[in-house]
Amino acid sequence: MTQRIPIVENILSANDRLAEENRARLDAAGVFAINIMASPGAGKTSLIEQTLPRLASLARVAVVDGDIATSLDADRAAAAGALASIQINTGGECHLDAVMLRGALEQLDLTKFDLLIVENVGNLVCPASFKLGTHKSILVASIPEGDDKPHKYPGMYRGVDALVVNKIDLLPYINFRMEFFTSGVQALNPDLITFPLSCRTGEGMDAWIDWLIQNVKRNS
């Protein structure tokens, strides 16, 4: 038991060093990278599917999908227009880490892309602890999940750069207290940029796309 904390710290420290190497590789190629995290069913893959066609004439996009098993999400990204789509099966791990992303980067000719979208494993705990080397971390929350998630999972909400609130078209039908949700977010991450949107209707997608393009141009 006395060894547990040092071991965990060593693992995270080694991961952080590899994440820095991943970032350096991305920067050298002029690729802006985002890490999309969420609980299962919040709409990570749907967001990617709606994002890719809107970026078709604006940026060259590669997608890396992390999941415990199957290549379903990578297949959906390819069908939606990703110029390259790589599936990482974690074999039971509840998150991606810098080693896994490094393996994916080695399969890509980064000079052919402007944007890399990484879809992490669906989980609101583990992914927050493991840096990948991406430039921004995005959290997708959804209306059906409930308004208490910032209060229950502070580590995730505290550590991200942008928040997508998906499925806002369901607000009339679900008891979701937006003020309660927002107060939790603000207490943890007051400078967090938020994009309320619906992947089903397309409402709010323009602001999300504009933000992505601004960051791609800034990093190129």
pLDDT digits (tens, 9 = 90+) for 41-91: 999 999 999 999 999 999 999 999 998 877 888 999 999 999 999 999 988
According to DSSP, residue 42 is labeled S
Using the predicted structure, report yes or no on whether residue 6 has a pLDDT greater than 90: no
String of DSSP letters for 97-121: -HHHHHHHHTTS-GGG-SEEEEE--
Q: What is the pTM of this model?
A: 0.93
Classified by CATH at the fold level, domain 4-219 comes out as Rossmann fold (3.40.50)
Name the residue with higher pLDDT: 3 or 215: 215
Q: How many C-beta atoms lie closer than 10 Å to residue 115's C-beta?
A: 25
Lowest mean pLDDT among 29-33, 125-129, 176-180: 125-129
